[in-house]
């Protein structure tokens, strides 16, 4: 039982680093997103690996959401990173 | 983007709103379950769109997030046709329409001939008909290359021809040949004299080649030698040449025409029978219930093709006008006969005098039984020079 390992821990180094593409202040395409933490029309907070990214702005909409990516559109005013 | 929207519409989708619970948790659960959501709205009116077939799969996710789902709207082809699908007539009608459209679009419904100037369109269409190209022919049976060759062989005056099919129209585009001008070989070997073509008095002479045998003011008779082809040089040697020159003489001619006053004239009685028919996809549908009249009738037909945006449609209207004719014996008055005689005389003058200048005319008429004889004594000035070949053996 002591030799048992969490298989998820093995998979962590294999994960692709998150990749973010920002088109002006209108659209952000995030690859490698592991979940939505907060979603409102003026703030979207997402988890990307060890980082938490906070998009703030006006009329924010998640245009598309899949298991590891999402597209945020709207009038972006700020991006914050935190651990 | 348009194709994505169209695909979503064709597949059908549902717009729903998430009520209560944690919308973020619901969205994460959906994403991990592999359910694709789009147009996700946040805030108080949280909601999204999902493919119609996957809406049921959202329920466990909503349960996990402690939220409830409410359908806001159903969109797509399957929802738009929901009411219609129960009406079999409409469905059958649509299927029949598609089938008819498919069957009709496989055929040729109009033929357009372009670029012809001297060859009548009807003649080309008749030849195409002989070659099996008529409205209603299957497009797959048309072989443009062979058609082009056959038409080119039939009409030798065509320089270039192309047969193209655009939709249900066959377009025959052609260009006629421009005949090269005939090159008249100058034959210096022939020897001519110039003789008088008419009897008259010479007014002016222009001798280009040869020896003048007459002078201005001389009276000449028809066939008299005017310019000789024999030319004598200063040393007394004679050479033979083709004489040429312009001899203007004053001539007089008598032209006569004859008009028969008693005649049988066929004219319309005023009774006209009109028959119309509709040509629909090559099938003639009569629009009038009038039979072909029996008797002495003159027929005129007008074929009108229907056009839409400059392309000929396979629909045409044919109108026949049958005008009843009556033959009556008519005797022309002297004035009527004279008018006709003058017309004939004008034509005769054009044919016989050509470009001669008419100086004076002295007309006279005479009635001989049922005929009117109209004479004109015409004095004119014309070129009477006529070439006459000297044959040396």
The pLDDT tens digits for B90-116 are: 888 989 999 999 988 888 888 888 888
CA-only gyration radius of chain A, Å: 15
Domain range list for chain B: 2-80, 110-176, 192-250, 257-262+331-380, 267-326
Of B27, B32, B43, the CB nearest to A41: B43
How far does the CA of residue B27 sit from the closest CA of chain A (Å)? Answer: 7
**Which residues of chain B register pLDDT less than 50?**
none
Please state the rounded mean pLDDT for residues A40-58.
91
- Cα atoms found within 13 Å of the Cα of residue B39, Cβ hemisphere only: 12
In a domain, A2, yes or no: no
In a domain, A6, yes or no: no
**How distant is the alpha carbon of residue A30 from its chain centre?**
6
Where would I find the beta strands (DSSP E) of B233-310? 238-240, 244-260, 262-280, 283-286, 297-308
- B13 CB neighbours in chain A (<8 A) are none
User: What pLDDT does residue A5 have?
Assistant: 63
Per-residue pLDDT band at A1 (split at 50, 70, 90): very low
Name the residue with higher pLDDT: A6 or B220.
Answer: B220
User: What pLDDT does residue A4 have?
Assistant: 65
Report pTM.
0.42
In a domain, A12, yes or no: no
Residue range of the domain that includes A75: 17-82
In a domain, A60, yes or no: yes
How far does the CA of residue A2 sit from the closest CA of chain B (Å)? Answer: 30
Instruction: Give B330-386 pLDDT, tens digit per residue.
Output: 888 888 888 988 999 889 888 888 888 888 888 888 888 888 899 989 899 999 988
Name the residue with higher pLDDT: A17 or A62.
Answer: A62
CA-only gyration radius of chain B, Å: 44
Helices (H), chain B: 2-11, 23-32, 58-64, 77-80, 82-85, 88-105, 121-130, 144-154, 334-353
Residue from B17, B42, B47 whose CB has the most chain A CBs within 10 Å, to mutate = B42
Per-residue pLDDT band at A78 (split at 50, 70, 90): very high
Helices (H) and strands (E) in chain B, counts: 9, 22
In a domain, A11, yes or no: no
Superfamily name and number for B2-80? ACT domain (3.30.70.260)
In a domain, A7, yes or no: no
Buried b vs exposed e over B156-193: b needs ≥16 C-beta within 10 Å?
eebeebbbeeeebbbbbebebeeeeeeeeeeeeeebbb
Task: Please state the φ and ψ torsions of residue B6, each to the nearest 5 degrees.
Answer: -65, -40
User: What pLDDT does residue A6 have?
Assistant: 65
Residue from A27, A28, A35 whose CB has the most chain B CBs within 10 Å, to mutate = A35
User: What pLDDT does residue A60 have?
Assistant: 92
Q: Does A73 score more than 90 pLDDT?
A: yes
The CATH number that applies at residue A69 is 2.60.40.2000
- A38 CB neighbours in chain B (<8 A) are 24
Residues in A 17-56 with any Cβ partner in B closer than 8 A:
35-41, 44
User: What is the spatial distance between Cα B393 and Cα B391, in angstroms, rounded to a whole number?
Assistant: 6
| Closest C-alpha among B269, B316, B317, B327 to residue B293 | B269
Instruction: Give A7-30 pLDDT, tens digit per residue.
Output: 655 545 555 578 899 999 999 999
In a domain, A10, yes or no: no
Task: Please state the φ and ψ torsions of residue A54, each to the nearest 5 degrees.
Answer: -120, 120
Helices (H), B87-202: 88-105, 121-130, 144-154
Class of domain B110-176: alpha beta
Nearest-Cα residue of chain A relative to residue B36: A66
């Amino acid at each position: 039982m002591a030799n048992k390992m969490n298989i998820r821990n093995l998979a962590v180094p294999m994960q692709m680093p998150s990749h973010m593409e920002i088109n002006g202040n209108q659209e952000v395409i995030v690859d490698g997103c592991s979940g939505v933490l907060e979603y409102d029309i003026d703030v979207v907070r997402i988890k990307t690996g060890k980082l938490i990214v906070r998009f703030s702005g006006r009329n924010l909409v998640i245009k598309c959401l899949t298991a590891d990516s999402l597209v945020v559109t709207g009038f972006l005013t700020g991006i914050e990173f935190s651990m | 983007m348009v194709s994505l929207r169209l695909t979503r519409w064709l597949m059908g989708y549902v717009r729903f709103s998430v009520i209560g619970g944690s919308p973020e948790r619901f969205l994460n659960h959906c994403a991990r379950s592999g359910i694709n959501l789009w147009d996700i709205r946040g805030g108080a009116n949280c909601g999204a769109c999902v493919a119609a077939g996957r809406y049921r799969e959202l329920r466990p996710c909503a349960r996990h997030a402690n939220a409830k789902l409410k359908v806001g709207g159903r969109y797509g082809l399957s929802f738009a046709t929901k009411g219609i699908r129960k009406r079999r007539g409409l469905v059958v009608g649509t299927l029949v329409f598609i089938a008819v459209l498919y069957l009709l679009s496989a055929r040729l419904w109009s033929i357009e001939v372009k670029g012809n100037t001297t060859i009548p369109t009807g003649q080309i269409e008749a030849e195409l008909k002989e070659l099996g190209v008529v409205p209603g022919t299957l497009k797959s049976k048309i072989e443009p290359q062979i058609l082009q060759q056959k038409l080119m062989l039939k009409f030798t005056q065509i320089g270039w021809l192309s047969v193209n099919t655009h939709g249900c129209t066959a377009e025959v585009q052609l260009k006629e040949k421009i005949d090269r001008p005939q090159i008249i070989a100058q034959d210096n070997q022939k020897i001519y004299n110039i003789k008088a073509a008419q009897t008259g008095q010479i007014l002016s002479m222009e001798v280009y080649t040869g020896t003048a045998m007459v002078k201005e003011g001389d009276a000449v008779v028809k066939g008299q030698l005017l310019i000789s082809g024999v030319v004598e040089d200063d040393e007394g040697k004679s050479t033979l040449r083709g004489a040429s020159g312009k001899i203007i003489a004053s001539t007089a001619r008598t032209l006569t025409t004859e008009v028969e006053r008693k005649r049988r004239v066929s004219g319309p009685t005023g009774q006209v029978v009109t028959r119309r028919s509709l040509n629909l996809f090559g099938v003639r549908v009569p629009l009038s219930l009038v039979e072909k009249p029996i008797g002495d009738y003159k027929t005129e037909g007008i074929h009108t093709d229907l056009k839409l945006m400059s392309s000929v449609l396979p629909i045409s209207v044919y109108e026949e006008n049958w005008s009843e004719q009556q033959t009556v014996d008519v005797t022309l008055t002297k004035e009527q006969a004279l008018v006709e005689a003058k017309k004939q005389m004008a034509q005769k003058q054009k044919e016989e005098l050509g470009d001669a200048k008419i100086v004076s005319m002295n007309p006279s008429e005479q009635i001989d039984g049922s005929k009117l004889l109209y004479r004109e004594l015409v004095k004119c000035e014309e070129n009477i020079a006529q070439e006459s070949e000297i044959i040396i053996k």
